[in-house]
Amino acid sequence: MIQASLFSRLLSANPFFAGLSPEGLESIAQICQQRRLPQRQVLFLKGDAGDGLYAIRRGQIRIGTTDDAGQHMTMSLLGSGDVFGEIALLDGRPRTADAVAIEETEMFFVPRREFLHLLGREPTIAIQLIELLCDRLRNMSERMEEGAFLPAATRLARRLVTLVTDYGAEIHVSQDELAALTGVSRETVNRQLQQWKRVGLLSLGRSRVMIHDVDGVRRLAKVEMA
């Protein structure tokens, strides 16, 4: 188990916890637990007890679900610095999706019971949790608007821009996952990626997309340059 001082430094670098007082960070660090998952290891499944919040130190987690026919749907891909499980942290109800490590992943875990005690002592934590939930709702609203008004190619380009921003030019993601993230069929994703490959925007590997022209993908996504 790593020391609380190291946990505190990790927390201070995370957008969710940034701005908390040193005392607040230290209080959270004292209740954090270190977790390590090998590649493809299940962290939790839909319906499991919602016992706390996770924050990724290193690695990648796929959040998704499986329907009655066994079809997998990826809801989001999370990487270093991302926080998840905040809904279960608040209401304690069963998990609403599965979480699986795409690669070897290190994270820290905040147990729900101890965290709720902290909210009474550190109201800033509660405020930042509300802000995080609002960001998630805003993102869902934007995704719904995209699905209603934007063509599939633009939506796919936007997903790639988001993934490049989070994980760099080499994206470890399958075409099935891209299809679920974009809200289109795998065939549509494959056809579009092959077109972009032919013009040199990207190359493809097994569950991997390498972006060679990030600005070109941004133009297709109609996203302003940073």
Query: How is the beta sheet containing 60-66 ordered, strand by strand?
Result: 42-44, 98-101, 60-66, 72-79
Number of H helices, E strands in the chain: 9, 11
pLDDT digit string (tens) for 75-129? Answer: 888 888 788 887 777 788 888 889 999 999 999 898 998 988 888 887 877 787 7
pLDDT of 38 reads 96
- Domain annotation covers residue 204: yes
- Domain annotation covers residue 24: yes
Residue that is last in its domain, among 113, 141, 169: 141
- Domain annotation covers residue 226: no
Is 1 a residue whose pLDDT tops 60? no
pLDDT of 204 reads 93
pLDDT digit string (tens) for 141-190? Answer: 776 766 667 888 998 999 899 888 877 888 888 888 888 788 888 899 99
**Residue 157 is which amino acid?**
A
Is the separation of the CB atoms in 152 and 188 below 8 Å?
yes
Same-domain status, 91 and 184: no
- pTM of the entire predicted model: 0.62
List, in sequence order, every residue forming a beta bridge with 106; answer none if it has no partner: 36, 58
pLDDT of 14 reads 67
CA distance 155 to 144: 11
Q: At 198, which CATH number?
A: 1.10.10.10
pLDDT band of 225, cuts 50, 70, 90: very low
Is 18 a residue whose pLDDT tops 70? no
